Amino acid sequence: MNAALKSGGHLETMLGQGHFVITAELTPPDSADPQDVYDEATLLAPVVDAFNATDGSGAHCHMSSISVCALLTRAGYPTVMQISCRDRNRIAIQGDVLGGAAMGVSNVLCLSGDDVTVGDQPEAKRVFDFDSIQLLRTIRIMRDKGQFLSGRKLTTPPRLFLGAASNPFVPPHDWRPLRLAKKIEAGADFIQSQYCFDVPMLKRFMQQIRDLGLHELVYYLVGVGPLRSEKAAEYMRKKVPGVHIPEEIVARMRKTPSGQQRQEGKRICVEIIEQVREIEGVAGVHIMAYKQQDLVPEIVAEAGLLPRPVRKIRNPSSKSRG
């Protein structure tokens, strides 16, 4: 890894020091009340190293990622701002990059974005001025060359740690490491994977990554999350793009009494974390617990990932804003 810090932020520092990091998805509210953001952050803060604020995930509208990050950085929390290529052109995106960095955002996750047809406003227009690789290159140019894509100079370049997404669990499997290599070449410093429910498949993918030497060039965070029920598992694997859940996981949920399925889903998540920690090249996990955020502290504790390194956090109350 490059020893020079790109952002100097908490997440990058933790990874550089060799800590097994934990990031968590903070679901932006369908609300204009900042306290809704702070309440969820307060719950998760003791057990995670950075909050990842989604950007219209599933092509559904919520409070914007940049706004959530603005609130959280004001309260002293490390954040990962998501940028989706689906919704904005290059002019708006480069402006958001500068705005996010000015507010204290240290990490940006570059995504293509789920297609509008999977959301609740399928008539929305797609933009896709960039794909995720072009987005990575553009922000790297802003950071490293101190200029916009047009060549116009920046007065102060953004200091950012750049992330990209990876999905080892859908075909074509042999192409996935090559796609990852392109994202690293474009500027990715860390990678966040889709949900992992198939550890053997992840192990095969990580072996390919090691064979290519990519594990020495990027920090790889594995996406994990608790299943709420057998019904939720079936829905995710049939309806959520890119999610692969093996039949044995669904069968395990199915044979669990309905009143105990939520706890069984949590146990499966803990077991997966314990297994992926042992895989060479895995630098941490990204926990996605949609509408089950209360389970995240339990998952982290039961996976043996406490205590987390201490960081100073101001009181995250909307009433104390100055």
Average pLDDT over the chain reads 94
CA atoms within 13 A on the CB side of 290: 11
Is a pLDDT exceeding 60 seen at residue 278?
yes
**Mean pLDDT within 42-46:** 96
Over residues 158-192, the pLDDT tens digits come to 999 999 999 999 999 999 999 999 999 999 999 99
Question: DSSP letters of 95-156?
Answer: HHHHHHHHTT--EEEEE----GGGSS-TTSPP--SS-HHHHHHHHHIIIII-B-TTSPBPSS
In the chain, pLDDT over 70 holds for what percent of residues? 96
What band does 144 get if pLDDT is binned at 50, 70 and 90?
very high
72/66 Cα distance (integer angstroms): 10
190/177 Cα distance (integer angstroms): 14
Q: What is the pLDDT of residue 318?
A: 47
Q: What is the pLDDT of residue 322?
A: 37
Over residues 79-114, the pLDDT tens digits come to 999 999 999 999 999 999 999 999 999 999 999 988
What band does 58 get if pLDDT is binned at 50, 70 and 90?
confident
Of the candidates 197, 187, 167, 169, which has an alpha carbon nearest to the alpha carbon of residue 179? Answer: 167
Q: What is the pLDDT of residue 3?
A: 62
56/33 Cα distance (integer angstroms): 18
Q: What is the pLDDT of residue 129?
A: 97
The contacts of residue 149 (CB under 8 Å, 6+ apart) are: 90, 94, 138, 141, 142
**Mean pLDDT within 250-260:** 97
Is a pLDDT exceeding 90 seen at residue 309?
no
Q: What is the pLDDT of residue 156?
A: 98
262 phi, psi to nearest 5 deg = -65, -45
Other C-beta atoms lying within 10 Å of the C-beta of residue 58: 15
69/97 Cα distance (integer angstroms): 12
Domains of the chain: 10-305 (3.20.20.220)
**Mean pLDDT within 304-320:** 69
